[in-house]
């Protein structure tokens, strides 16, 4: 009997996949790589330690437990030669595409032997799919070719680079064999501070929705999810954004009802910038964004650029 390992984007879909009689073992890839440091040129084990520290600092578990979970995950992955086939099940959104790149780039450096690698990449959210929908997805299983591995390795190196230039250049690269990659690249670039407001796209959508009267947290999250062509962000990360807003005085929480403050309105009216209010310290892939290393998304030109920052911020000066 063929032994199969199914690598999936998390735990939520595994129960439904088993109901759909998807055979084999399951390996959930639990990491939200669109947040926090993902430096270049590290082994899977070295990167896992950095990710575990970040996730623990983020308040999503104890470091020792997260490290243990990563160790077990990595060991199961490294034992892939015990299987006849490894199937990667991933969706079209940013969360999944980054996980897929990490795994494919790792496989690009391995000796596969007799193990067959395949991919099921869907525009359907696995965790929201019915049994019948998951069964139908098996019809779209394709072999992973050297071209998949080469593009993924190139994209992963770009994502982990210390500047976003290589990542942005993927928009002008042929990546059709990974049809959802360019959408993920574009959406990740929109998470950089915008030249217009100093806010990321997610932050802007949240603040604008609050300004429009969306005052309840859960409904606000759902509203912001609806604004995404490919929703990718979990609620815990979204709550962190709201906490940050409240801590810096651009929203207020009155009996679990959120309202925008005059300072928040100034940001939306472009009379003030979030970059003036918050000491920006954020990692996206291998890029450490700060006032000293400021990369911003130009919404008008749809491009990523490096800028000099001086306070008060009246105009960003592009670095040549």
- Domain holding 60: CATH number? 3.40.1360.10
What per-residue string of b and e applies to 85-106 under the rule 16 or more CB within 10 Å gives b?
Answer: bbbbbbbbbbbbbbbbbbbbbb
Element (H, E) at 157: helix 146-159
Q: In which domain, by residue range, is 299 found? A: 190-318
In this structure, the answer to whether residues 138 and 40 fall within a common structural domain is yes
Q: What does the angle CA 149 – CA 150 – CA 153 come to, to the nearest 5 degrees?
A: 80
In this structure, the answer to whether residues 25 and 141 fall within a common structural domain is yes
Give the per-residue pLDDT at 312. 61
In this structure, the answer to whether residues 52 and 171 fall within a common structural domain is yes
**Within 10 Å of residue 44's Cβ, how many Cβ atoms?**
15
In this structure, the answer to whether residues 156 and 18 fall within a common structural domain is yes
Chain-centroid distance of CA 179 in Å reads 17
What per-residue string of b and e applies to 171-188 under the rule 16 or more CB within 10 Å gives b?
Answer: beeebeebebbbbbbebb
Query: How many domains is the chain partitioned into structurally?
Result: 2
Model confidence, pTM: 0.95
Q: Are 304 and 295 in contact (CB under 8 A)?
A: yes
Residue 248 burial by Cβ neighbours in a 10 Å radius (0-12, 13-18, 19+): middle
Domain C-terminal end among 141, 159, 188:
188
In this structure, the answer to whether residues 142 and 230 fall within a common structural domain is no
Tokens of 299: 């919404």
Tens of pLDDT, residue by residue, the chain (320 residues) = 789 999 999 898 899 899 999 999 999 999 999 999 999 999 999 999 999 999 999 888 999 999 999 999 999 999 999 999 999 999 999 999 999 999 999 999 999 999 999 999 988 888 888 899 999 998 899 999 999 999 999 999 999 999 999 999 999 999 999 999 999 999 999 999 999 999 999 999 999 999 999 999 999 999 999 999 999 999 999 999 999 999 999 999 999 899 999 999 999 999 999 999 999 999 999 999 999 999 999 989 999 999 988 766 555 666 65
In this structure, the answer to whether residues 202 and 178 fall within a common structural domain is no
Domain C-terminal end among 188, 219, 243:
188
In this structure, the answer to whether residues 45 and 173 fall within a common structural domain is yes
Q: Are 8 and 15 in contact (CB under 8 A)?
A: no
Give Cβ neighbours of residue 24 (< 8 Å, ≥ 6 apart): 3, 4, 5, 6, 83, 85, 87
For helices 94-107 and 181-189, give the axis angle rounded to 10 degrees: 120
For the chain, count helices (H), then strands (E). Answer: 13, 13
Tokens of 32: 């939200």
Closest CA to 240 of 291, 206, 192, 276: 206
Give Cβ neighbours of residue 226 (< 8 Å, ≥ 6 apart): none
Using the structure block, give the residue that is written with the tokens 């578990």.
Answer: 61
Domain C-terminal end among 160, 188, 216:
188
In this structure, the answer to whether residues 183 and 203 fall within a common structural domain is no
In this structure, the answer to whether residues 152 and 202 fall within a common structural domain is no
């Amino acid at each position: 009997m063929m032994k199969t390992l199914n690598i999936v984007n998390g735990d939520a879909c595994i129960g439904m996949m088993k109901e759909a009689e998807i055979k084999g073992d399951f390996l959930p890839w639990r990491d939200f790589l669109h947040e926090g440091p993902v430096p270049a040129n590290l082994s899977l084990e070295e990167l896992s330690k950095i990710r575990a520290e970040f996730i623990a600092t983020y308040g999503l578990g104890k470091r020792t437990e997260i490290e243990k979970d990563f160790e077990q995950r990595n060991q199961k992955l490294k034992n892939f030669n015990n299987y006849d086939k490894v199937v990667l099940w991933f969706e079209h959104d940013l969360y999944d595409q980054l996980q897929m790149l990490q795994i494919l780039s790792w496989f690009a450096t391995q000796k596969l032997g007799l193990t067959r690698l395949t991919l099921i990449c869907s525009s359907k959210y696995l965790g929201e799919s019915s049994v019948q929908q998951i069964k139908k997805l098996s019809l779209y299983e394709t072999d992973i070719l050297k071209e998949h591995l080469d593009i993924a390795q190139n994209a992963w190196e770009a994502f982990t680079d210390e500047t976003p230039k290589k990542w942005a250049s993927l928009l002008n690269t042929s990546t059709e064999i990974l049809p959802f990659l360019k959408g993920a690249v574009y959406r990740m670039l929109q998470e950089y501070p915008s030249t217009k407001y100093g806010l990321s796209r997610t932050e802007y959508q949240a603040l604008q929705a609050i300004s429009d009267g969306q005052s309840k947290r859960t409904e606000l999250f759902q509203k912001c999810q609806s604004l995404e062509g490919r929703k990718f962000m979990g609620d815990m990360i979204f709550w962190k954004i709201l906490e940050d807003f409240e801590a810096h005085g651009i929203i207020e929480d009155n009996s679990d009802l959120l309202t925008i403050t005059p300072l928040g309105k100034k940001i939306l009216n472009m009379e003030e910038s979030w970059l003036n209010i918050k000491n920006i310290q954020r990692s996206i892939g291998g890029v450490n964004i700060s006032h000293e290393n400021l990369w911003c998304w130009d919404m008008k030109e749809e491009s990523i650029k490096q800028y000099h920052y001086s306070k008060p911020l009246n105009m960003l000066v592009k670095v040549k």
